[in-house]
Amino acid sequence: MNKLKERWGIKSNAEFIIILIVFSINGSLSAYLTKPILGSINITSEQLGWYFYWPIALILILPVYLLLIVIIGSLFGQSKFFIWFAKKTLKGIGLGFLFKKKSDEPQDVMKEEA
């Protein structure tokens, strides 16, 4: 736990617990919301079959997940951490060009915005 706190730049156990709660809420909520989004654009597993439906669902779940993690993280008072996390995730999948500054450490982001 201490290694993860150090890596994420977290100082207290309470902050760590809040971040874990946000991750758990967000994972469930993003998976729950993806199905109606796919249904609203008429993409169902009955139409496409599971072999096309699930890859599309997994591709759609990423932006839903990242948007929700910033929103839910902000509601829990951890917006700086989750904005950093979303940027790091986007950089990891090759979309790092969307950001001007190259900060890969949560401590750097928190120092900049403080």
b vs e for 50-82, b when ≥16 Cβ sit within 10 Å of the residue's Cβ?
eeebeeebeebbeebbbebbbebbeeeebebbb
The whole domain housing 14 covers: 2-113
Residue 18: partners with Cβ closer than 8 Å, 6 or more residues away? 76, 77, 78
pLDDT (tens digit per residue) in 44-70? 888 888 788 888 888 888 889 999 999
Return the percentage of the chain with pLDDT > 90, whole number: 34
Looking at the 3D structure of the chain, how many domains does it have? 1
